[in-house]
Amino acid sequence: MSTALAICACLAGGAAVLLGGPVHRVRSVARSVAGAVAAVPWWARFTRDAAAEAAEWIGLLRRLAALLQAGRSPAAAFEGAGPAADRAPRTGTGRHIELLCTSVAAAARLGLSVSTALAGVPAPELGHRPLERRAVASTAELALCWAVSERTGAPLAALLGGLADALEAELDAEAARGSALAGPRSTVRILTWLPVLGIGLGMLMGVDPLRTLLTTPWGLAALVAGAVLTCLGRMWTRTLIGRAEAVGAR
């Protein structure tokens, strides 16, 4: 968001200078544009803290482990471990976890196996594929821990605590990969938009680059070659970033 504000401020200032406005108006124009962008209320609707939602599974596992270690029954543990118990924010993952806890607690009170009840929980529709895969995997891992404890007598609280530690380490690794790849992604975006910004600045200076690009043979050739090379560069960069993410996820 700060990068977008800086770009808007620079473009506004450059436009004010190129259009012949007084220099003292540059700051006011840039400040007005940046303030307008920052005041847009719908910007938060397009952002989603997927890492925080995935971390809600860690909280569930640790609450279950603590309640079971305190001697609670499976039904009481799931009732006390739901998001409604600690008044957590109602995210999509939180609502799914609440539904899971309610369903499993009801099944446990009827005498059904907890692992069977967990296996019967439907896959959620969260509108975010990584979070949906995380929910399915976490539910399956939780059911597996319960099945292992039921068959072997292993301490369930220790199993759930180990699963929470493993999930936390996995999320930390994903965050580290995202931070490492943020630079290449930003570089690709900047390089992709530079030609468009160059054309806009050229039009502000009165050069009319669009007429040259669309009406002359050399301009058409440069336009086609630039578009093809830009597309190939983006595809190649996405392939490299995808390979890096795949290698890091192993």
Whether residue 220 lies inside any domain: the answer is no
pLDDT tens-place string over residues 143-167: 999 999 988 988 999 999 999 999 9
| Mean predicted confidence (pLDDT) in 16-35 | 44
Residue 54 shares a structural domain with residue 40: no
Identify whether the C-beta of residue 157 lies closer than 8 Å to the C-beta of residue 118: no
Q: How many CA atoms lie within 13 A of 71 on its CB side?
A: 0
Q: What is the pLDDT of residues 202-230, one digit of tens each?
A: 888 888 888 888 888 998 998 899 889 88
Are 143 and 75 contained in the same domain? yes
Residue 87's pLDDT is: 58
pLDDT in tens, 163-203: 999 999 988 888 888 888 888 888 888 888 888 888 888 88
Kindly provide the b/e burial profile for residues 203-237, where b requires at least 16 CB atoms within 10 angstroms of the residue's own CB. Answer: eeeeeebeeebeeeeeeeeebeeeeeeeeeeeeeb
Q: Do residue 132 and residue 157 come from a single domain?
A: yes
pLDDT digits (tens, 9 = 90+) for 77-114: 998 887 654 455 578 888 889 889 999 999 999 888 88
Domain that holds residue 17: 1-47
pLDDT at 249: 56
Q: What is the pLDDT of residue 248?
A: 56
Tokens 């390089």, located at residue:
191
> Rounded to two decimals, what is the model's pTM?
0.64
The predicted pLDDT at position 48 comes to 62
- In this predicted structure, what is the pLDDT of residue 78? 92
| 41 within a domain of the structure (yes/no) | yes
pLDDT value of position 125: 84
Residue 71 — left, alpha, or beta (φ > 0 → left; ψ -120 to 50 → alpha)?
left
Helix (H, G, I), strand (E, B) or coil at 54: helix
Q: What is the DSSP string of 132-161?
A: HHHHHHHHHHHHHHHHHHHHH---HHHHHH
User: Does residue 130 share a domain with residue 15?
Assistant: no
